[in-house]
Structure 1
């Protein structure tokens, strides 16, 4: 198995995952429909990225920067373009879960997306750099930009989620844990792959990224849309209950009013 094998696995896995998410996701409420679209578009973008890398349009050869280390290595820049779109989408979906009843603090959305974009762009510069001190400075900046993302997930957004129903709170916490754990793998892979310390080879790196991507985008997306389906079912039931409670008083109030319009009975 070589790089191409795992890149085509990425194309197939992301394409199948996108179809599954879009087919199984619902749209009973605007929130559920939005979640289905957001989680469905993520693997579509990733499938395009993997296709570009598989056909040779998503990578360039960079010099190794190490004397005697050979002609260079393949730098897969398409994965950074993928991340630049998909990670903000996943964070927007997570933020909308935290603010399920309404986006009370749009600044949180802006802040978490901008921090994430900064993290990805500086990681791209890390990958493109061949001078060691420049490369590792970019890596440190990228990791530093990762910290506000985690702070917003486990600070203000968690506080927003605490104002929601118990099922929404549980979904947010579960989703936040999964994303937080899986996303920690990415900087570790960048650290040890051919773009970093070269502890693993190109094929092992591509395989590892493909597996983690499928977990972060397909497996997580399927779980998230399933959870949003349960939330939507509760939303619909809650809405029906609210409508019933509003209609009942009107019915009761109408009864004496109707009685007053009834003709008086004649005596004798």
Structure 2
């Protein structure tokens, strides 16, 4: 498969995924509507990124390394623009799942977003760098910020999630583990791909990133949307059951 195949596949998959999330998502409460929009807009942004890369507008040609100026690599900067918007949205969605009854600690969410943006910007610097020690310093900083994101998820958000009912706690843990497993594959691909050690071929690196993107944005978005629907189903059922005795008493 050529690199173009995977880029167009990413575009088509994101477009279809966005439509599916927006159709399946419900809007019975303000919170449910917000979650549907958050998870629906993520693949829309990603579809725009893949369209830009597939048409040649989202990449530029860079030297393969400081000692091989005749060799070139395609650097897909559009994916970093994509991640700058989509990963914070995914973290906001995850935070809303953790604090289903109310967003009690906005500072934690801002800390997650800040760490995430540092991770992406420094990963961009890693991909653009040609000097070896500069490149790998940026990579190390990016991984450090990545660790801060996971601290926010599994320590700070989990502390808040402990106050929620059992089904919400289970949904948050599933979502957090799912995203963690998928996101941990990204730095590995960047490490061995064309922007790093150059072990993977361009087509294979694109294929892996496209599959990871579709999993993190579409598959996860569908899963999170369904879980939100189930949580709101229970919210509404509890509201109806608590209102019934009042009507009888009246």
Q: Deviations over 1:164-205 (max 9, x none)?
A: 111111100000000011000000000000000011011111
Residue in structure 2 matched with residue 138 of structure 1 by the alignment: 138
The Cα shift of 1:68 comes to 4.2
Residue in structure 2 matched with residue 239 of structure 1 by the alignment: 239
* Distance across 2 between alignment mates of 1:187 and 1:80: 13
The Cα shift of 1:30 comes to 1.6
> Contact 1:179–1:216 (CA<8 Å) still a contact in 2?
yes
Residue in structure 2 matched with residue 204 of structure 1 by the alignment: 204
> How many aligned residue pairs are there?
250
- Change in Cα spacing, 1:156 to 1:245, as seen in structure 2 (3 Å) is farther
Moved more, 237-246 or 77-86: 237-246
> Contact 1:167–1:231 (CA<8 Å) still a contact in 2?
yes
Q: Deviations over 1:104-143 (max 9, x none)?
A: 1111111001110110011001011011111000000000
Residue in structure 1 matched with residue 37 of structure 2 by the alignment: 37
* Distance across 1 between alignment mates of 2:68 and 2:163: 59
Residue in structure 2 matched with residue 122 of structure 1 by the alignment: 122
Task: Give ranges in structure 1 of 5+ residues lacking alignment.
Answer: 252-268
The Cα shift of 1:244 comes to 2.2
* Distance across 2 between alignment mates of 1:135 and 1:68: 16
> Contact 2:63–2:69 (CA<8 Å) still a contact in 1?
no
Residue in structure 2 matched with residue 52 of structure 1 by the alignment: 52
> Contact 2:26–2:33 (CA<8 Å) still a contact in 1?
yes
Q: Compute the TM-score of the two structures, normalised by the length of structure 2.
A: 0.97
SS of equivalent to 2:171: helix
State the structure with more CA Rg. 1
Residue in structure 1 matched with residue 79 of structure 2 by the alignment: 79
> What does 1:60-209 correspond to in 2, within 5 Å?
60-68=60-68, 70-209=70-209
* Distance across 1 between alignment mates of 2:99 and 2:68: 54
* Distance across 2 between alignment mates of 1:140 and 1:152: 19
SS of equivalent to 1:62: strand
Q: Compute the TM-score of the two structures, normalised by the length of structure 1.
A: 0.91
> Contact 2:122–2:142 (CA<8 Å) still a contact in 1?
yes
The Cα shift of 1:242 comes to 2.2
The Cα shift of 1:246 comes to 3.5
SS of equivalent to 1:155: helix
> Contact 1:29–1:236 (CA<8 Å) still a contact in 2?
no
> Contact 1:11–1:48 (CA<8 Å) still a contact in 2?
yes
> Contact 1:7–1:53 (CA<8 Å) still a contact in 2?
yes
* Distance across 1 between alignment mates of 2:246 and 2:154: 38
Q: Deviations over 1:74-101 (max 9, x none)?
A: 0000000000000000000000111111
Q: After the TM superposition, which segments of 4 or more aligned residues of structure 1 sit over 3 Å from their partners? A: 245-249
The Cα shift of 1:34 comes to 1.1
SS of equivalent to 1:61: strand
